[in-house]
Amino acid sequence: MTTIAPIWRTPEHCLSSERPDAPSLFFAPSELTRTARRFLAGFPGLVTYAVKANAEPAVVMGLIAAGVRAFDVASPAEIALIRRLEPAAALHYHNPVKSRGEIAFALAEGVRVFAVDSFAELAKLEAAAGGREIEVSVRFRLPVAGAAYDFGSKFGADPAQAADLLRRVAALGWRASLTFHPGTQCERAEAWVAYIREAALIATAAGVTLHRLNVGGGFPATLYGEAFDLEAIFAAIGAARDAAFGVDGPRLVCEPGRAMVASCMALAAKVKLVREDGAVFLNDGVYGALDEFPVLARTHAFRVVAPDGRARAGATRPAVLFGPTCDSLDRLPGEPVVPVEIAEDDYLVFEGMGAYGSVTATGFNGYGSLRTETVARL
Ligand SMILES: *Cc1c(COP(=O)(O)O)cnc(C)c1O
């Protein structure tokens, strides 16, 4: 038997009729489809989805329905998930560090594209691949500013070593590619452009013709009310490839996580208390779905909804926002502005909650369970 969950018109409609006491995630499949089509239509190359941003089957199925057929996976569990939902999908195992057991699992599941940033990791692939034809993308890094946090601090070979690795991959008879990640929520195209120029220099230094150039994720999502011109970033990436490599440049691949899924979900947290000192206590916080706010050092944009579903409007004030756990780290960054009339049982509806929210929520202190509702629009 199939049960069909109700579809609400808006989060407000659900909140006012159900008045949920638990934090609620609202999923708008129409928005997911719209964003996926934007990437598929606009990016000048292959679009792969970075599964770690949100591995909910409903989200992955929505992307498949919209036409996404390739995925950046980082673990055996993500490989198994995608194999189950779309057996024919192309899988890029782009975690630069994999155990030998994980590599064996991936090969058995038909994965043929891997990333490395060291000779030690490449040696594991040499030992495991047997006679298989694989593609190896060498991950490199540059000191780049402009992202919300810097992925280069963990992964990536420096350009000189990347050239050595690339040469070795080609000598093994494998398809040799380059990959990078400019850092998440990267708001300006310059970061990709600098990386693409460097990729051409690395390929020249190695004397290797690149099979593909994977420009990573990092595309910006609307988290703070401001929308970004993704098409302008796509155009800058295509133009940078053409300028750096000429007419015969490598095919491009991207692997958006955040920007693909952030906008398809909003999270409603309920006000448990407005204290006399003005502090607002919510039923979700930094150990729950709002865990990324302190890392990005900023609280997502939100609207305040009264229990009857109406928007709180009028005069505003800054407020300290706390989560539900009994420790003082559970505080949202800054002092966001709230309506003066905010009251117990109101809801804060945060935008851009589809990426890195529900997937990293913990059950610390007995909190953190989420209910998910489907809505026509957010
Ligand atoms: C996390 C990750 C991504 C997605 O990054 P976003 O900033 O969410 O777009 C893409 N590629 C790799 C290798 C990653 O680890």
Q: Which atom of ligand 1 is nearest to the CA of 217?
A: 9
Residue 255 CA, ligand 1 centroid: distance in Å: 6
Element (DSSP H or E) covering residue 348: strand 347-350
- The band of 154, judged by pLDDT with boundaries at 50, 70 and 90, is confident
Residue 300 CA, ligand 1 centroid: distance in Å: 20
What pLDDT is attached to residue 1?
47
Average pLDDT, the chain: 95
What pLDDT is attached to residue 352?
98
Kindly report the CATH number that applies to the domain delimited by 7-26+262-375: 2.40.37.10
181 vs 103: CA distance, rounded Å: 22
* CB neighbours of residue 156 within 10 Å: 22
Q: What percent of the chain has pLDDT over 90?
A: 90
Residue 39 CA, ligand 1 centroid: distance in Å: 15
- Going by alpha carbons, the residue nearest to atom 10 of ligand 1 is 217
**pLDDT value at 362 more than 90:** no
Residue with tokens 């939902």: 85
**pLDDT value at 144 more than 70:** no
Across residues 252-259, what is the average pLDDT? Answer: 98
Q: Yes or no: say if 122 and 116 are a contact pair by the CB < 8 Å rule.
A: yes
Mutation pick for ligand 1 pocket among 213, 255, 264, 292 (CB with most ligand atoms within 8 Å): 255
Residue 304 CA, ligand 1 centroid: distance in Å: 31
Q: Can you give the residue ranges of every domain in the chain?
A: 7-26+262-375, 29-261
Q: Which atom of ligand 1 is nearest to the CA of 259?
A: 9
Question: Can you give the pTM of this predicted structure?
Answer: 0.95
Residue 149 CA, ligand 1 centroid: distance in Å: 12
pLDDT tens digits along 108-118: 999 999 999 99
Residue 53 CA, ligand 1 centroid: distance in Å: 8
Q: Which atom of ligand 1 is nearest to the CA of 94?
A: 13
Residue 163 CA, ligand 1 centroid: distance in Å: 23
What pLDDT is attached to residue 153?
76
Q: Given the DSSP bridges, would you call strands 302-305 and 347-350 parallel, antiparallel or unpaired?
A: antiparallel
Residue 235's SS3 state is helix
- The band of 143, judged by pLDDT with boundaries at 50, 70 and 90, is confident
Residue type, 208: V
pLDDT tens digits along 160-218: 999 999 999 999 999 999 999 999 999 999 999 999 999 999 999 999 999 999 999 99
pLDDT tens digits along 63-77: 999 999 999 999 999
Q: Which CATH class is domain 29-261?
A: alpha beta
Protein residues with CB under 6 Å of any ligand 1 atom: 50, 52-53, 72, 94, 181, 184, 216-219, 255-259
Q: Which residues neighbour 40 within 8 Å (Cβ) at sequence distance 6 or greater?
A: 47, 66, 67, 68
